[in-house]
Each structure stands twice: as structure tokens, then as C-alpha cells.
A and B are shown apart, each in its own frame.
Chain A
Amino acid sequence: MRVMVLIKANEQSERGEMPSEKLLTEMTTFNEELVKAGVMLAGEGLHPSAKGIRVQFRGSERKVIDGPFAETKELLAGYWIWEVKSLDEAVEWVRRMPAPDDAADTATVEIRPVFEAEDFGDELTPELREREAALRAQTEGA
């Protein structure tokens, strides 16, 4: 199964401060472990929300809001996409992650399973499949 591992922001990441050299080294080692185990599919760190933009939808209205955003603990600082055998395996990998710089600061990592085709079940059929087919006919009909 595929999971997205979400690394929540903290005050340090939101200030745009780089982690210590020690943490960076540990993170690099951890990433190498993930690659060597064949678990890592993708992963990136994100700039602080100060460089981010939100687009808010309300009815037909679209409002563009510049960062930074409040509620630091709900923001993201990075993500991975892993291929694992079970959620338990993902939990075990997360346990092996290096600890954050500030031992007093709480850091949260969230694991979310990615939808697989079978999760959609009947909902993708038949109307959505028909729409897909129509879309295909349009793109290929030229």
C-alpha cells in the first residue's frame, strides 16, 4: 500500500530556519535507509507558509490569500510517499525518524493511506468511467 507521510510544521520550520547540521545528517541517513529498503517513492521539504499562497473558494468567488498562515501545528513542513506492506510498517519507519532539534517542542508526523483504485469501488463506475471515455475520445479524436 502507498502512504503519504506528512511532517507537520513547527515554529522553527515556520521561521524558515534550517535544521541543525546534526539533524540534517541524521535525516539524510534516514532517507538513505528508506531508499535502500525500497520504501521511498518520493519526498520533499516545503518552504514555510510565509512563501505559500491559499486560494479560498466560496461559491463562485475565488480569493487569493498570501501566507504566512496561523495555526502552525496544522501546517506542513514536508512529506514523503512510501510504498509499505501495512500501516504498521509505516509506523515502524516513522519511529525510526530522527528526533527534532528542540526536544521540548512537540513534533507530529501523520500517516495517511493513499486511495487505491479498489477503494473507489463502484463509485468510479459506470458514469465516471463514461466521462473518462468521453474525455479520451475528445483528446484522441483530433
Chain B
Amino acid sequence: MAAADVKRTIEAVWRIESTRLIAGLARLVRDVGLAEDLAQEALVAALEQWPQAGVPDNPGAWLMATAKHRAIDRLRRADVHRRKTEELGRELELWGEADVPDLAAEAADPFDDDVLRLIVTACHPVLSVEARVALTLRLLAGLTTKEIARAYLVAEATVQQRIVRAKRTLAAAHVPIEVPERGELPERLASVLEAIYLIFNEGYAATAGDEWLRPELLQEALRLGRMLAALLPAEPEVHGLSALMELQASRARARVGPDGEPILLLDQDRSRWDWMLVGRGLAALKRAYATGGAFGTYTLQAAIAACHARARTAQDTDWVKIVALYDGLAQVAPSPVVELNRAVAVGMAFGPAQALRLVDELADEPALSGYHLLPTVRGDLLEKLGRLADARAEFERALTLAQNAREHSVLLRRIARCCARG
């Protein structure tokens, strides 16, 4: 095999094995940062040795065995140091007196709990959401800092810093690497779901830059959601998030026109939706319902997305049901943004005049003061009511608030349309 081929094979092996490798090591050395260092060292060893020696038959076991040797080396060194400081106990207890555990043999065991422990640790609430996102992409998705930096359009050093600081925070807070207890699970899980959904959203609606989609982040978030659904099948919101992401992602390619301009949901060509993802999303929503748990925000949002997915044409959309689901969402997670979305649904179900009253109630909402969708929605309703000059003023206000270049072009078109009709 040529060296370039081996390198590509190693990348593929890393993609498949890195999560479990780091997760298994984290359990044994009880330190996420150290576990990742050891896994990286094993990867470097593979890059050095496989081009000459060939790719081993069981590359995952090879990586684990190599990381194990590095771990033993480090512990021996630490051992000498600690003997003097009489802090021998914990490591010796962990590793046993004589025989060091065979990590490669452990690799054959089900690693589900290890991966779950790793993900709840990487998304621990002591970490900022940016730190959780960076750690999750690094440890669970196996992305390099370079890939993360490219996806977020930031300098690689920034991502590196974020990860180093996150590991330090975890160590300083003595966060144990364990599956949270039943009572603690909802809070810890919410922290995980939030990070995954943030990755998804950055991929689905890039907040800055010229592109509307960042496919690699979209795919990573979908994959993490699917992983989590396999790990925690009894948790309704895990399926709810997965359903929401699959359904939203199903529209990704219908969402952008030939010149890169965004196409809004109701104008999309539904034959261009990804019907495999629609099917997966609806199935995931069914699983969320089947758990019998209370509907949370992700499940309710997925249920709304499902109303759109089930409508064969935009005219078939069950807006009355969507309004009811937004009512539910406003109870579970009251927020001005939900109210704004609910107003849009009311406009579709019961007419623009009713909706405009709801939107006007939100005008002084401080949380929405810099939010470009408030004037966009208001402009849309005014345009439907034939108040074109007012509509144009709203779109112009939205233009000063929107950050994405593609959104700008949509707003400029709407302003031009108001001028032409007015």
C-alpha cells in the first residue's frame, strides 16, 4: 500500500475508533485530557509505523494496546515521583499491584457506558457551551482542531486554547468520569443535547459568513444525535432532538437555490427534500412518543417540523395543529422567540391581522431588540395586509440587523418587491 493510501486508511480507522479509544482510556486513567493525549500518541505511532509495517488486522486493538503502553510508561514515571511524596495509593489501587489491566482485551467489551461517560463529561455543565461544543467535536466526533477551526471560521489557536482551558476546567472542578445518577441525569442530559443542537444549528444556519450551510457540522451533529439515541433509548428528548435534526436536515438541499440564495420553507420544492431523512425523523419522533415520557422542547419542535414534513404541499400544512404545538412549547419553554414563531403560525392559521397583534405585543421585548426576524416577520404580515410602505420600513430595519450575506439578499429582494407593488 502506498504511503498516501495508508495515511487515508489511518484517518478512516481514527474516525471509527477514536471515540471508543478515548472513552475507554478516560475510564482507566480517570482523566479526559490524559486519555486524549494517550490516544493521540497512539495515532502518531500508527502514522510512523503502519506505512512500513502495514496496517494491522485489528487496527482498533493495536491503537488501544499502544495507548496502554504509553499509559504504563507515564504511570511508571509518575510512580517514581509519587513514591517520594507518599501519594502512591490511588494509582496502585487503580492498576493493581502486579498485573496491569489489559486494555486491548477491554476493547472487546461493550463500550457503550464508556462513550456515555465521555459525552456527559465533555458536556459537563461547569463548561461554557463553546467549550462543550469544542470538546464534543474533538473527543466524540474525532475532529482535529484544524477541522473545528475551519468549520467555525476561527483561528486554530483559538480552538486549541478553548480545548486546553476546557480540560483544565474539568480537572480543576474534579469532575468525575461517570454516568450521572438518575436524579442528576435530566440536567446533565440537557447540557449534552444543548451542545449537539448548537453544533447542528451552526451547520444548518451559519450565523456569519457567506454560506448558509456548513455540511460537515450538520453531519457531525446528526451522527452525535444518532449515537446518543442508541446509547439512551429510554430518554424521550434524545429521540426528540434526533427527530428534530433529521427533519430539519431533510430540507437542507431544498433550502438553497441555484445561486446560493436561501429558499424559505413554504417556497421549497418538496421533491428535493431528503425523503430518507424525513422517514428517519418521523420514526425517531415515534420513538420519542413511545417512551411515554413528558414532551420536552426538542420533541415539541420535532412535532412541529413533522407537521411540515407530512404536508405534501405548503397549502396542506396543518397550521392549526402547529399553533397548538407552539402553545405547548410556550408552556414548557416560554420565550419571546417561541412567541414570535407562534405568531407566524397564527398568521397562517387565522390570518395576518391576528398575527400582527401578537407580534406588536412583542415589539418592546428586550430579548428580541437585535433580532432581525422580528422586523422580518412584521414586514411579512404588513405586506400581506397591503401596507407596503410600513412593510418596506420593517424589511429595511431587518437589513441593518441581519448578519448573514445570504439573508441580506433575501431582504433586499423583498424591499424591491414592496417598492414595485407600492
Q: Identify the A interface with B (CB < 8 A).
A: 32, 35-42, 81, 83, 85-86, 88-89, 91-93, 96, 117, 124-126, 129, 132-133, 135-136, 139-140
In the A-B complex, the 5 residue pairs with the closest CB atoms: A38-B223, A38-B226, A88-B12, A92-B12, A89-B12
9 A-B pairs (CB sep. < 8 Å) = A38-B224, A38-B225, A42-B276, A88-B12, A91-B9, A136-B271, A139-B313, A140-B314, A140-B315
A135 touches B271 (CB 8 A): yes
Q: Which of B223, B224, B226, B312 has the most CB of A within 10 A?
A: B226
Contact present for B269 and A132 (CB under 8 Å): yes
Residues of A within 8 A of B280 (CB): 41-42
A88 touches B9 (CB 8 A): yes
| B227 with A89: CB separation less than 8 A | no
User: How many angstroms from the CA of A117 to the CA of B231 in the assembled complex?
Assistant: 32
Residue of A nearest to B315 (CB): A140
**Max chain B CB contacts within 10 Å: which of A42, A89, A129, A135?**
A89
Point out which of B227, B230, B269, B312 has the most chain A C-beta atoms below 10 A from its C-beta: B230
Question: In the assembly, what is the distance between CA of A113 and CA of B112, in Å?
Answer: 29
How far does the alpha carbon of A135 sit from the alpha carbon of B59 in the complex, in Å? 51
Q: Give 1 or 0 for each of B202-231: 1 = CB within 8 Å of chain A CB.
A: 000000000000000001001111110011
Known: A83-B219, A88-B9, A132-B271. A36 touches B231 (CB 8 A): yes
Q: Cα distance A35–B226 when bound, in Å? A: 7
Chain B, residue nearest A39 (CB): B223
- B8 interface residue per 8 A CB criterion: yes
Min CB distance A13 to B, Å, is: 25
Cβ-neighbour of A36 out of B8, B9, B227 (below 8 A): B227
Q: Closest approach, in angstroms, between the C-beta of B62 and any C-beta of chain A?
A: 13
Nearest to A91 among chain B residues (CB) is B12
Q: In whole angstroms, how far apart are the Cα atoms of A71 and B272 in the complex?
A: 36
B16 in contact (CB, < 8 A)? yes
Number of interface residues of B (CB under 8 A): 32
Q: How far is the CB of B269 from chain A (nearest CB, A)?
A: 6
B12 near A37: Cβ-Cβ < 8 Å:
no
Report B-chain residues with C-beta under 8 Å of the C-beta of A86. Answer: 8, 11-12, 15
* Chain B residue at smallest Cβ distance from A140: B313
Docked pose: A129 CA to B270 CA in angstroms: 13
User: In the complex, how many angstroms separate the beta carbon of A136 from the nearest chain B beta carbon?
Assistant: 6
Q: Which residues of B contact A40 (CB under 8 A)?
A: 226
Please indicate which of the listed interface residues A37, A42, A126 has the most CB atoms of chain B within 10 Å of its own CB. A37
How many angstroms between the C-alpha atoms of A133 and B268 in the bound complex? Answer: 10
**Complexed CA–CA distance, A140 and B258 (Å):** 22
Query: Which residues of A sit under 8 angstroms from B314, Cβ to Cβ?
Result: 140
On whether the beta carbons of B16 and A37 are closer than 8 Å, the reply is yes
Q: Is B410 interfacial (CB-CB < 8 Å)?
A: no
Q: For the complex, what is the distance from the CA of A133 to the CA of B269, rounded to whole Å? A: 8
**A36, B230: Cβ atoms closer than 8 Å:** yes
Which A residues are CB-close (under 8 A) to B313? Answer: 139-140
Q: How far is the CB of A94 from chain B (nearest CB, A)?
A: 11
CA distance A124 to B272 in the complex (A): 12
In the complex, A81→B280 CA distance in Å?
12
B16 near A92 (CB under 8 angstroms)?
yes
Shortest Cβ distance from B219 into A: residue: A83
B228-261: contact bitstring with A at CB < 8 Å (1 yes, 0 no)?
Answer: 0011000000000000000000000100001000
Docked complex Cα distance between A83 and B270 (Å) = 22
| Interface contact B269-A41, CB-CB below 8 Å | no
Q: Which residues of B contact A89 (CB under 8 A)?
A: 12, 15-16
A125-B258 contact given A35-B226, A36-B227, A89-B15, CB 8 Å threshold: yes
Does B149 count as interface, using CB distance less than 8 angstroms? no
Interface contacts beyond A39-B223, A86-B12, A132-B272: sample of 7 additional A-B pairs, CB < 8 Å, sorted by A: A36-B227, A38-B230, A42-B280, A83-B219, A92-B13, A117-B272, A132-B271
Known contacts A38-B227, A41-B280, A135-B271; decide if A92 and B253 are in contact (CB<8 Å): no
Chain A residues whose C-beta falls within 8 Å of the C-beta of B272 in the assembled complex: 117, 132
Nearest Cβ on chain B to A44's Cβ, whole angstroms: 13
Known contacts A36-B112, A37-B16, A139-B313: does B8 contact A88 (CB below 8 Å)? yes
Q: Given the complex, which residues of B lie within 8 Å of A126, measured CB to CB?
A: 258
Residue among A92, A93, A136 making CB contact with B269, cutoff 8 Å: A136
- Contact string against A for B residues 46-64, beta-carbon threshold 8 Å, 1 for contact and 0 otherwise: 0000000000000100000
